[in-house]
Chains A and B, each alone.
Chain A
Amino acid sequence: EPEVTQTPSHQVTQMGQEVILRCVPISNHLYFYWYRQILGQKVEFLVSFYNNEISEKSEIFDDQFSVERPDGSNFTLKIRSTKLEDSAMYFCASQLAGVTDTQYFGPGTRLTVL
């Protein structure tokens, strides 16, 4: 069964450093998402991406964040200058099409900012 993959599984970084989280969505899917989940809290939407551009973003997704689909397979989330409060699990998800379609989540990247 096709699945969403994410790398790395765990990233440790110093405050102020840039990090890039990588995702490979399911190959025929058209919509891509990033979410975060701070430990013990709910899953929060960050950004959605369709047709090579951001379609929606939340208040969390400020100028420190950016997304790219640099080639036909990868989907990346960049945090330019990490803060302590960016420590969380970051999940990528992809969706074939349509608002009722299922979103499939990757296993997540645990980001720890020291």
Chain B
Amino acid sequence: RKEVEQDPGPFNVPEGATVAFNCTYSNSASQSFFWYRQDCRKEPKLLMSVYSSGNEDGRFTAQLNRASQYISLLIRDSKLSDSATYLCVVRGGSYIPTFGRGTSLIVHP
């Protein structure tokens, strides 16, 4: 089983739509969880950390389900500028993150 799994997509949605991505992880000892955004041929940029209680930042909501070992990202009111690849990142007790392959989102007019 892969350590961090994501549906590669692409998710093709119209502007204004709500879209959700899931990510599953295999290491039950994982401690830190993040969503990064990566534009084509650019560096990953932190979108948000994911906490057990769930957290929201504007149009973005992240949830963590430790029992089922998955994290989710919900994007409301999608914008054209949201088009990117969304990377799920999981860290265990060390500082070494494990990246998923990413989920591609395309928002069209």
Contacts and interface: CB of A to CB of B under 8 A. Distances in A.
Interface of A: 31, 33, 41-45, 48, 55-56, 89, 91, 95, 99-100, 102-108, 110
Interface string B42-59: 111110010000000000
Contacts of A42: 87, 99-102
A42 B45 CA distance: 14
Contact of A41 (B94, B97, B101): B101
A106 B43 CA distance: 6
A88 to B, nearest CB: 12
A6 to B, nearest CB: 9
Tell me whether chain A's interface is mostly helix, strand or loop, or mixed: strand
A57 to B, nearest CB: 9
Contacts of B87: 42-43
Given A45-B96, A99-B94, A107-B42, 18 more contacts: A33-B95, A41-B101, A42-B100, A42-B101, A42-B102, A43-B44, A43-B87, A55-B95, A56-B94, A56-B96, A91-B43, A91-B44, A99-B95, A102-B46, A105-B45, A106-B43, A107-B43, A110-B41
Interface of B: 31-32, 34, 41-46, 49, 87, 91, 93-102
Contacts, number: 49
Nearest to B4: A42
A44 B46 contact: no
B96 A89 contact: no
A59 to B, nearest CB: 12
A103 B97 contact: yes
Contacts of B99: 42-44
